[in-house]
Amino acid sequence: MARMHSRKKGSSGSTRPARLEKPVWIELSPEEVESEVVKLARRGHSKSMIGTIMRDSRGVPLVKVVTGKKVSQILEENDIETTLPEELANLVRKALNVRKHLETNHKDLEARKGLNRTESKIYRLIKYYKKKKLLAPDFKYDVEKIRTLVAR
């Protein structure tokens, strides 16, 4: 399927490991992996970043293969929750950066167009997350209020 704001088809990301059983080279126990995931989440890393760190520096190809639970399930069990879904938070961060750029560069029309596209994606995602009940039904995208929700 084509992308909405470009003529490209897009390509998939990296391929997941083929095997779904625990590899023999992993020396960490499931409890150690869970505690490492919780520690990384408390430091402020997102779910996808936790998976990347576990893969690259700890040698764990998939957290679910080792522990039997997804990263999100581990975080729910330890009462670590985020205010916004990760995809929405990334888009909001992008929109805030473009707004900051437009404060000093008023005549940058391409940036304004990019901001419009980013915010239209945000509105569509908010509608989707409200439908899936991941956001409150009265949630509104207000730039000043959402700036406090998304730190960094």
How many other β-carbons are positioned within 10 Å of the β-carbon of residue 101?
14
By C-alpha distance, which of 71, 78, 67 is closest to 29? 67
Per-residue confidence (pLDDT) for residue 1, from 0 to 100:
47
Please write the tens of the pLDDT for every residue from 17-50.
Answer: 767 788 888 888 889 999 999 999 999 898 999 9
Q: In CATH, what class is 86-149?
A: mainly alpha
Is pLDDT of 77 > 50?
yes
User: Domain residue spans in the chain?
Assistant: 30-77, 86-149
Please write the tens of the pLDDT for every residue from 104-140.
Answer: 999 999 999 999 999 999 999 999 999 999 999 999 9
Per-residue confidence (pLDDT) for residue 113, from 0 to 100:
96
By C-alpha distance, which of 96, 137, 136 is closest to 118? 96
Which one-letter amino acid corresponds to residue 51? G
By C-alpha distance, which of 111, 107, 88, 110 is closest to 98? 111
Give the rounded percent of residues in the chain with a pLDDT score beyond 70.
94
pTM: 0.77
* Close Cβ partners of 9 (under 8 Å, ≥ 6 residues apart): 1, 2, 3
Is pLDDT of 2 > 70?
no
Q: Work out the angle between the directed axes of helices 47-57 and 30-42 (0-180°, nearest 10).
A: 130
